[in-house]
Amino acid sequence: MVKIAILGIGKRGQKYGNIASKLKNVSIVALCESKEQFLNAYAQKWGVDKSNCYTSDSQFFGEGKLADAVFICTQDRDHYRHAVLALNKGYHVLLEKPVSPNYDECVEIARLAKQKNLQVVVCHVLRYSPFYVAIKKAIDDGLIGDVVHINHTENVGYWHFAHSYVRGNWRKESESSPSILAKCCHDLDMIYWWSGKKAVTVSSYGRLDFFTSKNRPVDAPSHCVDGCDYSVKCPYYAPNIYYRITRHTLPKMIVNAFLVTDSPHPTLREIKDKLATSPYGRCVFACDNDVMEEQVVNLVLQDGVTATLNMTAFSKRMYRKTHIYGTKGEIYGNDTDGAFTINTFGGQSRRIRTSRKSISIHGSCDSNTVKQFIALLDGQSTHQGLTFIDTTLQSHLVATYAERARKSGLTEQINE
């Protein structure tokens, strides 16, 4: 039986905990969460004794070692401190991405894990998507020859970007991470995984021009529900995103209503009332956000392979689009289709269909990540996609240099 502690019961902690709680060889034995309502609700749901429930990390780490491993699902800038404390206590770690906005802290976690002979697995969950695994296999099987260029786009979705990067927890770099790291370390990891090549040169350009005060109508209130005259035409009108179904929109973020209300099981009335004061109810042009809404990263990889990553807030849907060019063919598709096309030069085109589960957000990726982490601790064979801390350093290194390049306007050489 593998014993698990969970630190942080936000969206990711809830997701991983729900998965782990259904596994026969897992017991969730301890929880740490500052919001008591969430702590009590999930302790009851997962059957965790109240004596092993803590509202502060100092209480949790002040105890002896309570489990075999800890899921660290806290905010970006808490990851390093929590990972170091966990490793020094002797815990194996499943660590939510990004590891840290400070690359030196990422390196230190990797060093400490090696010193302690403990496992740190980072949740680069896209490596478990049937869609991306099938693309990786096609490349490894030589179906398009040698990879020459990768063009990959992360369409964040206008409603998702507004929720997380304008109104939400990842809106300010000083409190979280640059958006190219917070949202796209997954994508930088995929470029490294597909190509097998490390980046040697980086340039990057970004903008924050739309979600700013200059676009706020002079008579728009600070919060949407305070009688905004632009509610009918504004796609960012908070009620449309969090609870109200309209002719053209669904409340995409109703699944995150617990963040608006600070309640694990919010009612519709609570959502409506809280949007009057919650940060999530603010006009998107009256927030304190400073992360990029649009960014491109240009890479030269080893052996002259090139890659481009585009991240944009301005898409109707949330999806990733990929085009990989090789010496003998090309691969292109998007993950919402659950299928991609292989064009072989001088040969036939093929449509490769994968599990429909890959169409949903993260699909079966979260489940497979948790299951394979548990299998690792249980001494079973593991999936090739399991991303250990030393492997994930590459994506975080590239994101770090991309931000240097964006801010300096220069092309950066990676010498590490």
Domain spans, the chain: 2-122, 126-211+289-359+389-413, 213-281
Residue 358: its pLDDT value, please? Answer: 44
Give the span between the Cα atoms of 237 and 318, in whole angstroms: 18
Give the span between the Cα atoms of 93 and 328, in whole angstroms: 41
Residue 384: its pLDDT value, please? Answer: 62
**Average pLDDT, consecutive stretches of 10 residues, N- to C-terminus, the chain (416 residues):** 97 95 96 96 97 97 96 97 98 97 98 98 89 95 98 96 97 97 96 97 98 96 96 94 80 87 92 96 98 98 98 95 98 92 96 68 76 90 78 97 97 92
Which residue reads 């949790």 in tokens? Answer: 60
Output the pTM of the full model. 0.94
| DSSP annotation string for 342-383 | EEETTS-EEEEE--GGGGSTTTTHHHHHHHHHHHHHTT----
Superfamily for 126-211+289-359+389-413?
Answer: Dihydrodipicolinate Reductase; domain 2 (3.30.360.10)
User: Domain 2-122, CATH 3.40.50.720 — does that match?
Assistant: yes
* Straight-line distance from the first to the last Cα atom of the chain, in angstroms, rounded to the nearest whole number: 40
Residue 97: its pLDDT value, please? Answer: 95
Dihedral of CA atoms 41, 42, 48, 49 in degrees, nearest 10, equals -20
Cβ 99 vs Cβ 79: under 8 Å:
yes
Residue 359: its pLDDT value, please? Answer: 43
Q: Two tokens at 381?
A: 């064979």
Give the span between the Cα atoms of 48 and 279, in whole angstroms: 32
Cβ 135 vs Cβ 293: under 8 Å:
no
Which residues are bridge partners to 296 per DSSP?
205, 310
